[in-house]
Amino acid sequence: MPINIKEANLEAITHTIAYMEKKEDYDEYVLKKLKEERDRLLKDLNVSF
């Protein structure tokens, strides 16, 4: 998968996580899975966090 797609997915996931955390009513399971996917993408892109 090209890096550009991974970066676009990372950006979308990060925005979604921020939106969900700002919202008071969210599914914790979905938020956990999004954070896991964000961490995986960061690792794939070799970005330290």
What average pLDDT score do residues 32-40 get?
A: 96
Domain count, the chain: 1
The pLDDT of residue 47 is above 90 = no
The pLDDT of residue 1 is above 60 = no
Q: What is the pLDDT of residues 15-33, one digit of tens each?
A: 999 999 999 888 999 999 9
What average pLDDT score do residues 21-48 get?
A: 92
CB distance 6 to 44 below 8 Å: yes
The number of angstroms, rounded, from the C-alpha of 3 to the middle of its chain's C-alpha atoms is 15
36: domain range? 3-44
Whether residue 35 lies inside any domain: the answer is yes
CA distance 45 to 40: 9
Which residue shows structure tokens 């990060």?
A: 14
Whether residue 49 lies inside any domain: the answer is no
The pLDDT of residue 34 is above 60 = yes
CA distance 13 to 34: 7
**Residue 30 amino acid letter:** V
